[in-house]
């Protein structure tokens, strides 16, 4: 559903990201992996129109919109939501979780009762009970806050959700649970995910495609099984081996 060719992001004359291409089908998950500083978050910002970028082609279904080469900024992907790394920074400490979730519906201008109903449904979808609606962010755990952020993304029934290291702030047990739920929701509702993560275990368990970035450039783009069985580049090989040594890929077996 998203087809990007040779995307580059430059700011103030410095090129942060060069010639990245990928495509991901409807309902699939693309994991963008790489070391810190490889440009993963920059790519997200470029896709969301927050940083100026250039590309050869940018094809986006089902809206069928395509942008001409050289458009300085993508006008934000429609029906797209973004889940960020730190849930406590992403939620207004002065507003309840329910209010934050409903904000996602702002552009639809629904009556309050409908908004509340949708929010409660979204909360249920992320395994939070109805009394979380009125809680403030400081009254819930990190994991619960991140689930609320996920609910905020889901409530808008987006075609695409972008995740920027959604699990790295959480502890291991919570990570597993939320990762599982994320994947289930994706399959249930047929949402496309683009997930930036440095956790190869997560990619191994849930991704359809893996895009590896290194130093602002695209290193490899492979389907998940290919990536972990036959890494296409020496660098990818190093990473996969390292992850295997650390036991991070055991999840792959567990999740299948």
Tokens for 114, please give them: 């409908």
148 binds other proteins (CB under 8 A): no
Minimum CB distance to other proteins smaller for 95 or for 189: 95
How far apart, in Å, do the first and last CA atoms of the chain sit? 25
| 23 neighbors 30 (Cβ within 8 angstroms) | no
116 binds other proteins (CB under 8 A): no
Shortest CB 107 distance to other proteins, Å? 4
Alpha carbon distance 206, 201 (integer Å): 9
The only residue of 106, 184, 233, 241 in contact with other proteins, by rule CB under 8 A: 106
182-221 residues in contact with other proteins (CB under 8 A) are none
The only residue of 13, 68, 70, 107 in contact with other proteins, by rule CB under 8 A: 107
Alpha carbon distance 180, 175 (integer Å): 8
Tokens for 145, please give them: 């806050």
CA angle in degrees (0–180, nearest 5) for 43-47-51: 75
Site string for other proteins, 18-57 (x = CB under 8 A): ------------------------------x---------
The SS3 call for residue 215 is coil
Q: At 53, phi and psi to the nearest 5?
A: -140, 160
Angle, in degrees to the nearest 10, between helices 172-189 and 142-154? 10
12 binds other proteins (CB under 8 A): no
129 binds other proteins (CB under 8 A): yes
Residue span binding other proteins (CB under 8 A) among the ranges 17-25, 91-99, 235-243, 245-253: 91-99
Residues forming the site for other proteins (CB under 8 A):
48, 76, 81-82, 84, 86, 89-95, 100, 103-104, 106-107, 124, 127-129, 131-132, 135-136, 138-141, 144, 147, 152
């Amino acid at each position: 559903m998203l087809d990007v060719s040779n995307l580059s992001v430059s700011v103030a004359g410095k090129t942060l990201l060069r010639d990245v291409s990928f495509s991901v089908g409807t309902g699939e998950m693309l994991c963008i992996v790489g070391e810190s500083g490889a440009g993963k978050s920059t790519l997200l910002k470029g896709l969301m129109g927050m940083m100026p970028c250039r590309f050869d082609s940018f094809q986006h279904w089902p809206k069928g919109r395509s942008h001409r080469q050289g458009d300085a900024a993508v006008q934000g992907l429609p029906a797209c939501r973004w889940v960020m790394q730190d849930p406590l920074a992403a939620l207004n400490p002065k507003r309840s979780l329910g209010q934050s979730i409903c904000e996602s519906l702002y552009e639809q201008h629904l009556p309050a009762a409908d908004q509340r109903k949708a929010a409660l449904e979204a909360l249920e979808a992320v395994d939070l009970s109805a009394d979380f609606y009125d809680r403030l962010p400081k009254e819930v755990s990190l994991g619960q806050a991140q689930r609320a952020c996920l609910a905020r993304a889901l409530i808008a029934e987006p075609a695409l959700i972008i995740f920027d290291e959604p699990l790295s702030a959480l502890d291991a047990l919570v990570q597993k649970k939320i990762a599982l739920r994320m994947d289930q929701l994706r399959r249930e509702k047929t949402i496309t995910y683009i997930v930036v993560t440095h956790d190869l275990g997560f990619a191994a368990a849930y991704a359809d495609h893996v895009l590896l970035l290194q130093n602002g450039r695209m290193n490899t783009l492979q389907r998940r099984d290919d990536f972990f069985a036959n890494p296409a580049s020496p660098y990818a090989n190093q990473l996969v081996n390292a992850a295997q040594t650390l036991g991070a890929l055991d999840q792959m077996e567990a999740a299948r």
